[in-house]
């Protein structure tokens, strides 16, 4: 009888340790808010630069700057849903599985000079 109790306690201890290990792996494998912010900034910057390049293909440099300057106060808001349309973002988007895809956004504010790299970003995470 004592041997059976000992075996049961050992088995329960092992099962508990396994469950605790799995929980710890899940907790520590989730990206931090800082990591998610950096990913949003990277994807959003690429999105904006591609947008800028597309404008440059059809408008003069002055017209591009004029169009982009209109966004300087209101910003250009881009959600995870928008970013997910780019296949290059596929792996990064998976890290946002615990986030609301419509309310997790990056807003890009073009700045004076209004060149392709003249902007500030603001990330809003809803995770």
Q: What is the mean pLDDT of residues 86-91?
A: 94
Strand extents, DSSP E, 2-100: 76-79
Residue 24 DSSP symbol: H
Q: What is the mean pLDDT of residues 85-103?
A: 94
> How confident is the model over 27-36, as pLDDT tens digits?
556 789 999 9
pTM above 0.85, yes or no: no
Contacts of 30 (CB under 8 A, 6+ apart): 98
Alpha-carbon distance of 58 to 5, in angstroms, equals: 79
pLDDT band at 13 (very low <50, low <70, confident <90, very high): low
Which pLDDT score, from 0 to 100, does residue 91 have? 93
With CA atoms as reference, report the closest residue to 125 among 48, 39, 27, 24: 39
* 6, pLDDT greater than 90: no
Domain assignments of the chain as residue spans, ordered by start: 1-30, 32-124
Average confidence score pLDDT of the chain:
87
Q: What is the mean pLDDT of residues 83-108?
A: 95
Alpha-carbon distance of 62 to 115, in angstroms, equals: 10
Strand extents, DSSP E, the chain: 76-79, 105-110, 119-124
């Amino acid at each position: 009888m004592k041997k059976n109790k000992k075996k049961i306690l050992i088995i329960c201890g092992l099962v508990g340790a396994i469950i605790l290990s799995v929980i710890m792996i899940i907790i520590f494998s989730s990206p931090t808010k800082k990591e998610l912010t950096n990913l949003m900034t990277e994807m959003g910057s690429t999105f904006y630069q591609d947008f800028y390049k597309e404008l440059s293909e059809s408008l003069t440099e002055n017209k591009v700057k004029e169009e982009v300057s209109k966004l300087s106060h209101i910003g250009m808001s881009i959600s995870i849903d928008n970013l997910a349309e780019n296949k290059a973002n596929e792996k990064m988007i998976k890290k946002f599985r615990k986030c609301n895809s419509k309310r997790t956004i990056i807003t890009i504010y073009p700045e004076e000079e209004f060149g392709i790299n003249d902007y500030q970003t603001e990330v809003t995470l809803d995770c």
